[in-house]
Amino acid sequence: MDEDTQIQVNQTNSQDSEDADDVETNRIIQVRQKALQALLQNIDQIDSEPSRRFEILMMALRTTFSEDLLEKALDAALQIEEPNSRAEALLDVLNESKAAEQV
* d(C-alpha 76, C-alpha 62), whole Å: 16
**pTM, rounded to two decimals:** 0.68
Q: Residue 22: its pLDDT value, please?
A: 82
Dihedral over alpha carbons 52, 35, 93, 96 (to 10 degrees): 150
Task: Report pLDDT digits (tens) over 32-91.
Answer: 889 988 988 888 888 889 999 999 999 989 888 789 899 999 999 999 999 999 999 999
Decide: 45 and 33 in contact? Cβ < 8 Å.
Answer: no
Examine the pLDDT at 18 and tell me if it is beyond 70. Answer: no
